[in-house]
Amino acid sequence: MNYRLLGRTGLYVSELCFGAMTFGGEGIWKAIGTSGQKEADTLVGRCLEAGINFFDTADVYSHGASEQLLGKALGARRKDIVLATKVRGRVGPGVNELGLSRGHILDSVHASLKRLGTDYIDLYQIHGFDAVTPLDETLRALDDLVRQGKVRYLGASNLAAWQLMKALGISEHRGLSRFESLQAYYSIAGRDLEREVVPLMKDQQVGLMVWSPLAGGFLSGKYRRGQQGPEGSRRATFDFPPVDRERAYNVIDVMDGIAREHQSSVARVALAWLLHQPHVTTIVIGAKTAEQLEDNLETPKLKLTAEQLTALNTASALTPEYPGWMVARQGEDRSPKPQS
């Protein structure tokens, strides 16, 4: 297992992070995974054996059951890992039992600590943007948790570029703990993040945690042009995140050939492509079975050639959009020209 620094911090995390969204199987999360304690213990144990030191969950996953199952599976080994969870989603029927107000954050962190069976959270992430609560209220509450030692680092998830930059600006101006990572959807079939968010993250040294690296299972190798997906698959009942299927099929065709060259799975090629992107810190994998996990764990060993990367990048390239194409054109004007 390889390890990478999280943003501009001194914290090393494994380039594969285990996501516990498949734990619990309650409510809408049943479509994603139904692992109970026995399965959770097995998957977590195997991750630790493989060198994964980064585990991610959220208070809303299976109504808190994911945090409980993960905490019990880690047990005394909790001190050896980097533990991440999230806050924002609805956790009860009350009008204030959601969002990023000071009250909800303080209530939620205590509930998460109890469920996880720990007295601190390594990375506490906001699970999206709250259009109602001022950002400075959210950031002040989060900074208080860092100062109290209940939280060690802060992260965000699912933010637009302007929202993340505004938060970073407020933190800088007021001397508050800042977001050191962004957890976002990114895959070879969905590279939209590269338009605005990735350049910002590079500039501000924010780490990138990738969720749904297989596009909700679409890049697992189970889907082919002109064929029905397997019965009982995740996308059969939970068709998310959105995918341009025709474009994704073109990428799968290229990955299929590369997978055969490496005697690998299509899924592993999709994950390996992400690990070859310099702006990626870690990939959140969420295996439902031991077989899926074993395949994912082989990803760091798969080294793509320059030719293979070019083929994948070409097949998955984004359609140029303004102002991106103008920024690129003007950037060429500033490149040094060879002297004759």
The 10s digit of each residue's pLDDT in 195-223 is 999 999 999 999 999 999 999 999 998 88
d(CA 119, CA 247): 46
State the distance between the two ends of the chain, measured CA to CA, in whole angstroms. Answer: 48
- What are 105's strand-pairing partners? none
Q: State the CATH number of the domain containing residue 307.
A: 3.20.20.100
pLDDT of residue 234: 66
Q: Is residue 338 part of a domain?
A: no
- Catalytic (active-site) positions: 61
Query: Residue 264: what residue type?
Result: S
pTM of the model: 0.94
Q: Is residue 336 included in any domain, yes or no?
A: no
Reported confidence tier of residue 233, pLDDT bands at 50, 70, 90: low
Is position 57 within any domain? yes
Mean pLDDT of 158-172: 98
Residue 340 lies in a domain: no
**Structure token digits, residue 286:** 């969420």
Q: Return the pLDDT at 214.
A: 95
Share of the chain above pLDDT 70, in %: 96
Mean pLDDT throughout 74-100?
Answer: 97
Whether 98 is in a domain gets the answer yes
Residue 226 pLDDT:
73
What pLDDT score was predicted for residue 221?
87
Q: What is the pLDDT of residues 29-53, one digit of tens each?
A: 888 899 999 999 999 999 999 999 9
Spatial distance between the Cα atoms of 280 and 207, rounded to a whole number of angstroms: 7
* Tens-place pLDDT, residues 139-162: 999 999 999 999 999 999 999 999
Does residue 63 belong to any structural domain of this protein? yes
Res 31: pLDDT: 87
Task: Work out the average pLDDT over 288-307.
Answer: 95
Question: Is residue 31 in a domain?
Answer: yes
Q: How many domains does the chain have?
A: 1
**Which tokens is 230 given?**
């397997």
CA angle, residues 138, 179, 68, in degrees to nearest 5: 75
Please list the residues that pair with 211 across neighbouring strands: 185
Residue 159, burial from CB neighbour count under 10 angstroms (0-12, 13-18, 19+): buried
In a domain? residue 337: no
Instruction: Give the confidence band of 231 by pLDDT, cuts at 50, 70, 90.
Output: low
Buried/exposed 170-199: b ≥16 CB within 10 Å, e otherwise: bbeeeebbbbbbbbbbbbbbbbebeebbbe
Identify the band that residue 267 occupies on the pLDDT scale cut at 50, 70 and 90: very high
DSSP 192-204: GGGTTHHHHHHHH
The average pLDDT across 292-319 equals 96
| pLDDT of 239 over the 80 cut | no
Per-residue pLDDT band for 77 (boundaries 50, 70, 90) equals very high
- Domain holding 310, by residue range, is 3-331
